[in-house]
């Protein structure tokens, strides 16, 4: 058996609750004759009289009295489900979900997010850290910040800042290194995501890279930094992102010059999302933050 129309059930619930076709008409913004017509259609559909018509009054029949609580419960359930759905949809539209490369997140982005929340208190930020390629449809990200070369198919990728690399190490190890070639006598710390980085750095010095005596591979720059501070070996890191460790003397930059990296930091999102309010708000904010940071500003030009 197919269900009666939702409109007729809604009309019945209102008339039964108010014990009046005219009051139901006022509540539903229709005429009393329209209410009477809907009730009549419902009764014909069910083959049962739901109301007893008296002079200037209607009351529920015995069948109507049995039917009403269940119809009322069903309509309340639908209303509640609809309210919850619209609330969740509204809340989701006020959320910015992003994935950020870990070292950039912890060293630069996360300490500044309080200013975004202050400027945009109605927007909720959800930040994950990852170096992996992201499936926007599957993971539900609005944008990602990645360290790489680009471009990426189907994506808008805007460079946030250029990266420059320096060889850094613990102070005790610093005294053992007099020239670039001496690095190959020291343990070198490699980023497993970019194993060619040391080779590229040596090439920028017009030197041939040979495998070092000892090397260690790590999954991300945060691990490399911890190992470097512990004296495990020499690392390639952007000095801007370890400025506190350099200032505190936990690390020493071995050579004065920094070398342009082949990889930079990008904000990336699907082409079809370019005009979304959330994308525009966050993008404007982060570029303003970069412009306000004197060290980063020179990397953005």
Report the percentage of the chain scoring pLDDT > 90.
67
Does the structure show a pLDDT above 70 at 227? yes
SS3 label, residue 21: helix
Parts of the chain belonging to CATH 3.40.190.10? 97-162+263-300, 164-260
Exposed / middle / buried, residue 6 (Cβ in 10 Å: 0-12, 13-18, 19+):
exposed
| Separation CA 284–CA 269 (nearest Å) | 14
- pLDDT tens, residue by residue, 240-277: 999 999 999 999 999 988 999 999 999 999 999 999 99
Average pLDDT of the residues in 111-118: 93
**Superfamily of domain 97-162+263-300 in the CATH hierarchy:** Periplasmic binding protein-like II (3.40.190.10)
Q: Which tops the pLDDT comparison, 223 or 150?
A: 223
Does the structure show a pLDDT above 90 at 289? yes
Say if strands 264-270 and 143-148 run parallel, antiparallel, or are unpaired.
Answer: antiparallel
Q: Which tops the pLDDT comparison, 79 or 84?
A: 79
Q: For residue 59, what are the β-bridge partners?
A: 52
Does the structure show a pLDDT above 80 at 15? yes
pLDDT interval class at 284 (50, 70, 90): very high
pLDDT interval class at 91 (50, 70, 90): low
pLDDT for residue 48 = 92
Report the percentage of the chain scoring pLDDT > 70.
96
Does the structure show a pLDDT above 60 at 109? yes
pLDDT interval class at 93 (50, 70, 90): low
pLDDT interval class at 301 (50, 70, 90): low
Q: Which tops the pLDDT comparison, 120 or 82?
A: 120
Residue 52: closest CA among 35, 34, 39: 39
Pick the CATH number of 164-260 from 1.20.1560.10, 3.30.70.2340, 3.40.50.300, 3.40.190.10: 3.40.190.10
Q: Which tops the pLDDT comparison, 127 or 2?
A: 127
SS3 label, residue 59: strand
- pLDDT tens, residue by residue, 159-201: 999 999 999 999 999 998 998 888 989 999 999 989 999 999 9
Q: For residue 144, what are the β-bridge partners?
A: 99, 268
pLDDT for residue 88 = 56
Tokens of 246: 């350099």
| Inter-residue contact 197 to 173 (CB < 8 Å) | no
| Separation CA 243–CA 250 (nearest Å) | 10
Q: Which tops the pLDDT comparison, 91 or 127?
A: 127
Residue 9: closest CA among 31, 35, 47: 35
| CB half-sphere exposure, 81, CA atoms < 13 A | 6
Give the global pTM: 0.67
Mean predicted lDDT score pLDDT of the chain: 90
Phi, psi of 153 (to 5 degrees): -60, 135
Parts of the chain belonging to CATH 1.10.10.10? 6-92
| Separation CA 34–CA 57 (nearest Å) | 16
Tell me the CATH class for 6-92.
Answer: mainly alpha
Non-local (6+) Cβ contacts of 284 within 8 A are none
C-alpha radius of gyration, the chain, whole number: 33
Q: For residue 270, what are the β-bridge partners?
A: 155
| Inter-residue contact 56 to 32 (CB < 8 Å) | no
Exposed / middle / buried, residue 230 (Cβ in 10 Å: 0-12, 13-18, 19+):
exposed
Q: Which tops the pLDDT comparison, 3 or 267?
A: 267
């Amino acid at each position: 058996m197919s269900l009666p129309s939702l409109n007729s059930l809604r009309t019945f619930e209102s008339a039964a609750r108010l014990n009046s076709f005219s009051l139901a008409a006022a509540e539903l913004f229709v005429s009393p004759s329209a209410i009477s017509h809907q009730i009549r259609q419902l009764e014909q559909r069910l083959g049962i009289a739901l109301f007893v018509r008296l002079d200037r009054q209607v009351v529920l029949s015995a069948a109507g009295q049995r039917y009403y609580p269940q119809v009322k419960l069903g309509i309340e359930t639908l209303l509640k489900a609809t309210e919850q759905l619209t609330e969740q949809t509204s809340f989701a539209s006020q959320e910015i979900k992003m994935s950020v490369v870990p070292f950039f997140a912890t060293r630069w982005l996360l300490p500044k997010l309080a200013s975004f929340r202050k400027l945009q208190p109605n927007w909720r930020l959800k930040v994950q850290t990852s170096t992996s390629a992201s499936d926007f449809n599957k993971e539900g990200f609005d944008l990602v910040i990645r360290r790489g070369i680009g471009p990426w198919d189907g994506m808008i990728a805007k460079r946030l800042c250029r990266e420059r690399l320096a060889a850094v190490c613990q102070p005790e190890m610093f005294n053992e290194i007099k020239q670039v070639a001496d690095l190959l006598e020291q343990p070198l710390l490699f980023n497993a995501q970019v194993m060619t980085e040391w080779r590229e750095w040596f090439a920028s010095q017009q030197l041939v890279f040979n495998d070092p005596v000892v090397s260690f591979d790590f999954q991300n720059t945060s691990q490399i930094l911890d190992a470097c501070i512990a004296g495990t070996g020499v690392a390639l890191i952007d000095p801007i992102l370890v400025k506190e460790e350099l200032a505190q003397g936990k690390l020493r930059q071995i050579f004065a010059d920094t070398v342009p990296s082949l990889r930079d930091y990008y904000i990336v999102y699907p082409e079809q999302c370019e005009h979304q309010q959330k994308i525009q708000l966050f993008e404007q904010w982060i570029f303003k933050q970069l412009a306000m940071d004197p060290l980063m500003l020179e990397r953005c030009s």
